[in-house]
Amino acid sequence: MDFASLLGIISGVALIVSAIFIGGSADVFVNVPGMMIVFGGTVAATLLTFQFRDVLNAFHGAFIVFTRDKTNPQEMIDTMLELSRVSHRHGLLKLADVNSPSHVLKRVCNLLAEAASEQVIRNTLQNEIDSLVARHHATQDVFRKMGTFAPAFGMLGTLIGLIQMLSELRNPDTIGPAMAVALLTTFYGSLLSTVVFLPIAGKLKARTVQEVTNLEIIREGCIGILTNDHYMHVYEQLSSYIPEAKRKPLKVSSK
């Protein structure tokens, strides 16, 4: 699991729970009707906005992002440099034997082995980038919308609670507890939005940027291999995709 995500989840929940217990009894923060309004309303509005399959895909994509290790751009640069060395020593046909967990990298290696033109490779990788951005945007949009719906239903629950409270003004003893219950729905909505849905959307957006960078590294690396650039020249081209302070020095091979 991504360490930053794990730290964020634990620290966020721990701080909120600690504040609740320090301030008094935690029982006052439990209100089943309020939860039904916020959770149920958010889910219902989301299903009305998106297709059921898109919602499932969004949660599945979020699960993958939070549990699968991300590919470091420097690692992708190292991979492309190694492919450049292989092509110089054994020719482009040898790239067809490359095994990689990345289906995109395997695909472009096959294109290189088949002596595809530079334009074909550029178009293929650009299509992959556009498709990835479109898929990820749809996933992010689900969580952004849920981050909008949750506070709205929280406010709706508060209005329902206030109406019920005002209808019982004849009994002053019920005003305080009724107001607390009414405000709980706003609390639930804000909590879900700021701690769950919007951070997930932000994490997905950050992962999209990184995956696009990796695809661009693959694209430019493959073009360098196709044009028979020396791997040192390939390194200079690809290293611009990462900050200078994080660039790994190139080890010049003696072979």
> What local confidence, expressed as pLDDT, does residue 254 receive?
45
**pTM listed for this prediction:** 0.81
- In angstroms, what CA-CA distances link 56 with 14, 40, 134, 151, 200? 28, 16, 16, 22, 15
Q: Is the pLDDT of residue 106 over 80?
A: yes
pLDDT tens digits for range 2-60? 667 767 777 877 888 887 778 667 777 888 888 899 999 999 999 999 999 999 999 98
Residue spans of the domains in the chain: they are 1-27, 31-246
**Higher local confidence (pLDDT), 133 or 11:** 133
3-state helix, strand, coil in the chain (%, to 5): 85, 0, 15
- In angstroms, what CA-CA distances link 82 with 6, 55, 76, 95, 174? 33, 39, 10, 11, 73
Q: Is the pLDDT of residue 252 over 60?
A: no
